[in-house]
C-alpha cells in the first residue's frame, strides 16, 4: 500500500518546523516582538521558482523549486548554529577565507529546507527518453552563514565599500525519497489539472547528497543608497554539483540595503538609512511613491558557471543511470524588482532568469532552438521584530 502524496510531504514539513522548536539564544534583546522568546529576531522566508511563473509558461526542464527558511539577526541565532560556525571558523580554518576577523563582522545565520524538481520536456512518454534530461528530485536541508562588514562602521562616506563572505551547506537526498514524483503528480493531478507526468519510473536512483558552497560578494554603493554594484564569485563542491562561478549585479532604486539575496540569506533592513538621514537633515525620509513602501529597486544580474559535475545531467554517482552530455559552461541573465512594505516589514522579490543550454543534444521538441530555458521566482520575507 502506497502513501498518498499528501502524507508523503509530511516529513519535509516536520523537518522544516524543527527550527521553530530548538532552544533560542538567551537574550531579551533578541526576542521577536510578535512571537514568544523561543523565536529570536529575524526573517521568515518562502521562495518559489517555477517556469510557470512566466507569461510563456512551459512546466518543463527545471520545473519547480521551493525553499522555506529563517534568517536570524546577528548574535540572535540559536546555540547549535553558533557552535557550528565556531567549529568551521576555528577547527576548519575558515577564518582565512573571511577577508577579516569574525569578531569584526556581522554574522547572519540562515536555516531551511527545499525541494527541486527536474523533468524532460515530454511528460506523456512512458518509455525512457534518452534524448532529454533525466527525471530527478532533490530534497535537502541547508545551513548558511553570511559574514558582512557592518554598515554602521562606514558612515559619512560618499561611497560605501562593503564585503560579504558566505558559507552554505546542503545535505539531502535524490531519488524517490526526494518526494519529487509525489509532489509533481499531486500538483498536476489534484491542483492544476495539467498533463500527468508518466516517466517518473525512470528517475535517478536514491542517493544521499551534499553540497558545500563558498561565495564572496563586494559592494560599492552610493551614499544615498540609490545605486550599487555587486561583483561576486563562488565555488561549490559535492556529489550533487561541483562548479566555479562569477557574476555581477547592478541595483537602482530607493533605500537599497544589504546584499542581493534571492533565495535564503539576510534580508532584514540592516541600516535604517531613510530614518537616520531624515533626522540628521530634518527632512522627510525618502520613500518609494507611497509612505508604506520604504525600499524599492530594480536589479539585473549576469553570471557564468563552469561545472565539473552536475548530477542532474551526469546521472547517479555510484551506479549506471540515465544521463546526458552536460555543457560545462552555463551562463544566466536575471532581472527583477524588490519591494519592502511597512509596517510589518514584508519584502517581496520577483526575478526572471534566462539560462543558456545546459546539455546536448538539444531535444527536437525544445522550446528554444538553442536549448536555453527560462523561469520565474517569487520570494516573500517577513521580519519578526516589527
Contacts of 156 (CB under 8 A, 6+ apart): none
The CATH number assigned to the domain holding 344 equals 2.40.128.140
3-class DSSP assignment, residue 324: coil
Q: What mean pLDDT do residues 302-320 have?
A: 95
Mean of per-residue pLDDT scores for the chain: 83
Q: Using CB atoms within 10 Å of the CB of residue 287, give its burial: 0 to 12 exposed, 13 to 18 middle, 19+ buried.
A: middle
Alpha-carbon distance of 133 to 363, in angstroms, equals: 9
Question: What pLDDT score does 57 carry?
Answer: 56
Question: What pLDDT score does 154 carry?
Answer: 56
* Total count of domains within the chain: 1
Alpha-carbon distance of 157 to 134, in angstroms, equals: 52
Strand partners, 349: 338, 379
Let me know: does 336 contact 249? Beta carbons within 8 Å: no
Lowest mean pLDDT among 205-219, 250-264, 316-330: 250-264
Alpha-carbon distance of 189 to 23, in angstroms, equals: 40
118-174 pLDDT, tens digit per residue, is 999 888 999 998 889 999 999 999 999 999 988 765 566 778 888 999 999 999 999
Query: For 40-67, what is the HEC assignment?
Result: ECEEEEEEEEEHHHCCCCCCCEEEEEEE
Pairwise pLDDT comparison (50 vs 26), residue with the higher score: 50
Q: In terms of residue numbers, what domain contains 32?
A: 5-383
Task: Please report which helix (H) or strand (E) contains residue 19, including its range.
Answer: helix 18-21
Contacts of 90 (CB under 8 A, 6+ apart): none
Alpha-carbon distance of 355 to 375, in angstroms, equals: 9
Question: pTM, whole model, 2 decimals?
Answer: 0.86
Question: What pLDDT score does 273 carry?
Answer: 40
Question: What pLDDT score does 379 carry?
Answer: 93
Pairwise pLDDT comparison (182 vs 370), residue with the higher score: 182
Amino acid at each position: 500500500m502506497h502513501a498518498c502524496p499528501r502524507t508523503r510531504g509530511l516529513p519535509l514539513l516536520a523537518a522544516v518546523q524543527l527550527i521553530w522548536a530548538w532552544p533560542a539564544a538567551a537574550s531579551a534583546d533578541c526576542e521577536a516582538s510578535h512571537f514568544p522568546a523561543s523565536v529570536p529576531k529575524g526573517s521568515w522566508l518562502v521562495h518559489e521558482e517555477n517556469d510557470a511563473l512566466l507569461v510563456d509558461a512551459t512546466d518543463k526542464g527545471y520545473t519547480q523549486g521551493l525553499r522555506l527558511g529563517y534568517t536570524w539577526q546577528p548574535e540572535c541565532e540559536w546555540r547549535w548554529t553558533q557552535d557550528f560556525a565556531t567549529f568551521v571558523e576555528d577547527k576548519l580554518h575558515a577564518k582565512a577565507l573571511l577577508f577579516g576577523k569574525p569578531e569584526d563582522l556581522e554574522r547572519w545565520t540562515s536555516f531551511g529546507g527545499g525541494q527541486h524538481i527536474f523533468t524532460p520536456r515530454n511528460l506523456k512518454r512512458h518509455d525512457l527518453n534518452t534524448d532529454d534530461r533525466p527525471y530527478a528530485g532533490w530534497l535537502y536541508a541547508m545551513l548558511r552563514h553570511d559574514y558582512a562588514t557592518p554598515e554602521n562602521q562606514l558612515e559619512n562616506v560618499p561611497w560605501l565599500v562593503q564585503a560579504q563572505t558566505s558559507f552554505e551547506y546542503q545535505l539531502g537526498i535524490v531519488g524517490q525519497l526526494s518526494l519529487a514524483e509525489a509532489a509533481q503528480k499531486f500538483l498536476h493531478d489534484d491542483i492544476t489539472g495539467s498533463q500527468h507526468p508518466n516517466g517518473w519510473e525512470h528517475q535517478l536512483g536514491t542517493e544521499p547528497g551534499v553540497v558545500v558552497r563558498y561565495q564572496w560578494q563586494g559592494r560599492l554603493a552610493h551614499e544615498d543608497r540609490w545605486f550599487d554594484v555587486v561583483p561576486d564569485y563562488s565555488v561549490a563542491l559535492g556529489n550533487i554539483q561541483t562548479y566555479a562561478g562569477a557574476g555581477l549585479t547592478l541595483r537602482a532604486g530607493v533605500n537599497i540595503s544589504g546584499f542581493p539575496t534571492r533565495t535564503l540569506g539576510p534580508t532584514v533592513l540592516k541600516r535604517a538609512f531613510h530614518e537616520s538621514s531624515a533626522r540628521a537633515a530634518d527632512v522627510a525620509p525618502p520613500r518609494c511613491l507611497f509612505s508604506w513602501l520604504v525600499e524599492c529597486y530594480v536589479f539585473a544580474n549576469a553570471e557564468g558557471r563552469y561545472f565539473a559535475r552536475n548530477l542532474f545531467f551526469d546521472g547517479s554517482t555510484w551506479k549506471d543511470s540515465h544521463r546526458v552530455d552536460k555543457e560545462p559552461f552555463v551562463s544566466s541573465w536575471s532581472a527583477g524588482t524588490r519591494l519592502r512594505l511597512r509596517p510589518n516589514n514584508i519584502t517581496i522579490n520577483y526575478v526572471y532568469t534566462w539560462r543558456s543550454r545546459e546539455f546536448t543534444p538539444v531535444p527536437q521538441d525544445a522550446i528554444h532552438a538553442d536549448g536555453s530555458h527560462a523561469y520565474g521566482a517569487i520570494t516573500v520575507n517577513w521580519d519578526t521584530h516589527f
